């Protein structure tokens, strides 16, 4: 069974790079400064993790 994405909010710059690559629309920016994850939509595919420039997302 695959895991789910977890966001390290201390590292996240809210750049939105992960939002645009998620094929399941599990990520979104709230007010342009806070990344939000929909755990029900996340499949743990890891695409967001690969596109995060600061390593703030890990599939666990």
Break the chain into its structural domains and give their ranges. 5-59
Phi, psi of 7 (to 5 degrees): -105, 125
Tens digits of residue pLDDT in 18-44: 999 999 999 999 988 899 999 999 999
Return the H-helix or E-strand segment holding 21: helix 17-21
Percent of the chain with pLDDT over 90: 87
Q: What's the confidence (pLDDT) of residue 32?
A: 81
Q: What's the confidence (pLDDT) of residue 2?
A: 74
- pTM for this model (two decimals): 0.86
User: What's the CATH code, domain 5-59?
Assistant: 3.30.70.20
């Amino acid at each position: 069974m695959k895991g789910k994405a977890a966001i390290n909010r201390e590292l996240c710059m809210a750049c939105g790079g992960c939002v645009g690559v998620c094929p399941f629309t599990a990520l979104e920016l709230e007010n342009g400064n806070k990344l939000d994850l929909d755990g029900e939509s996340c499949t743990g595919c890891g695409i967001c993790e690969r596109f995060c420039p600061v390593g703030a997302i890990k599939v666990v």
